[in-house]
C-alpha cells in the first residue's frame, strides 16, 4: 500500500474480520485459583445461620468479607 492509496470502509471491515479470526485461534490462558465469592444468602444457607448471626460474625472480625456498594461478599474458601 502506498501513501496515495485510499483505505475504504470495506478494507477496514476485511481487516477486522481477519484480525478477529486470528485472535480467535490464539489460546487464552485460563486464570487459575480465582476465589469464588459468595453473597449473604449463600453464606447463610451454607452455615445455616440467620442474617443477624452473619452480621455479628462480620462485626466481630471472625468472618473476612469485602463490601462493594451495599453488597457483602465472602470468599468460599473462608466459609468452608
Q: Give residue-wise pLDDT tens across range 18-76.
A: 988 888 878 666 666 777 899 999 999 999 999 999 999 999 999 999 999 889 999 99
Q: What is the pLDDT of residue 5?
A: 79
Q: For the residues 8-15, what does the mean pLDDT come to?
A: 90
Q: What is the pLDDT of residue 26?
A: 80
Model confidence, pTM: 0.57
Q: Does 10 reside within a domain?
A: no
Q: Does 47 reside within a domain?
A: yes
Q: Does 69 reside within a domain?
A: yes
Q: What is the pLDDT of residue 52?
A: 95
Q: Does 8 reside within a domain?
A: no
Domain count, the chain: 1
Q: Does 54 reside within a domain?
A: yes
Domain of residue 41, residue span: 37-79
Q: What is the C-alpha separation between 15 and 25, in angstroms, rounded?
A: 16
Q: Does 4 reside within a domain?
A: no
Q: What is the pLDDT of residue 55?
A: 95
Q: What is the C-alpha separation between 58 and 52, in angstroms, rounded?
A: 10
Residue in this structure with the C-alpha cell 500500500, named with its chain if needed? 1
Amino acid at each position: 500500500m502506498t501513501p496515495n492509496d485510499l483505505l475504504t470502509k470495506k478494507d477496514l471491515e476485511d481487516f477486522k474480520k481477519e484480525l478477529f479470526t486470528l485472535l480467535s485461534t490464539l489460546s487464552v490462558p485460563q486464570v487459575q485459583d480465582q476465589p469464588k465469592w459468595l453473597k449473604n444468602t449463600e453464606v447463610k444457607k451454607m452455615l445455616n445461620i440467620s442474617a443477624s448471626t452473619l452480621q455479628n460474625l462480620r462485626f466481630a472480625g471472625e468472618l473476612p468479607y469485602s463490601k462493594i456498594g451495599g453488597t457483602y461478599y465472602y470468599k468460599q474458601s473462608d466459609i468452608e
